[in-house]
Amino acid sequence: MQLIIDVGNTNITSAIFKNTDIIFDFRLATDKNKSIDEYYISFNTILNSANINISEITDIVICSVVPQLDKILELSFIKYFSIKPFFINLADNLKLNIKINVHNPLEVGADRIANAEYCAVNFKEQNIIVIDFGTATTFDIILKSGIYEGGIIAPGIALSSKALFNAAAKLYPVNYEKIPNNIIGKNTNEAMVSGILYGYIAMTEGLINKIIESTSINDWLIIATGGFSNIFQKLTNRLNIIDDKITLKGTKLIFDNTKISKK
């Protein structure tokens, strides 16, 4: 079994893979103040609750955009799992199917590389826009030739909402997972939820249109992933495929291919 981990700024999303199948997945809140021992307790408690025997885990692979946690997690898994985790890092000669066409490939987040690799391998010969609705909302462009052309980074829905609540004294956190029936709110709560949800849909659809316009390519497969992808699926018909596990699957794919290439 493999433990695949996606360390984001808000959540640490993890999955246990048995061969190619996810048999268990879970989330932890990202906490930069947790110790080596505390992270072990969190992982071990959750895995035990699912009857996952950590002695059966052969590989631990981490895709991280929070460098402050990399060493803590590495030392935790070495100490308690007796496994040195493999980190997705372009500097380590990863075996990739995509060709990266950006000014500085090392600047591209590991999660974006994982998303692009998974989509390029699993949806061959298609022009792809993969949108990751996470702490940041990212749009990544993969051409049918297998070239990763870069993308767009915008603030995520939770981040923008938090900034709104913190800056406006009379506004307050709302449950934006409850979709309003009418875009025109009849009270402050409804108005805020409409602004957050429909505002992000307008941004998403607008950026898709701008990508089409700037590339002069009309045939795009649009794939959504990330923690908020299922919410937006209900609000737009522009998303062709929804899969909130793409980053985890892409991380595993990169590790497996790199491991085989180094044998």
Mapping DSSP onto H, E and C, the string for 84-132 reads CCEECCHHHCCCCCCEECCCCHHHCCHHHHHHHHHHHHHCCCCEEEEEE
3-state SS class at 250: helix
- Taking alpha carbons only, the member of 182, 71, 34, 63 closest to residue 132 is 63
DSSP one-letter string for 8-76 = -SSEEEEEEEETTEEEEEEEEE--TT--HHHHHHHHHHHHHHTT--GGG--EEEEEES-HHHHHHHHHH
Closest CA to 256 of 59, 70, 9, 77: 59
Classify residue 63 as exposed, middle or buried by CB count within 10 Å of its CB (0-12, 13-18, 19+): buried
Asked if residues 257 and 122 have their Cβ atoms less than 8 Å apart, the reply is no
111 noted as active-site residue: yes
Q: Are strands 136-142 and 147-155 parallel, antiparallel or unpaired?
A: antiparallel
Active-site residue identified among 111, 132, 140, 244: 111
Please name the amino acid found at residue 183.
I
For the chain, count helices (H), then strands (E).
7, 11
Is 142 strand, coil or helix?
A: strand
Rounded-to-integer distance, Cα 110 and Cα 116, Å: 10
Q: Which residues are catalytic?
A: 111
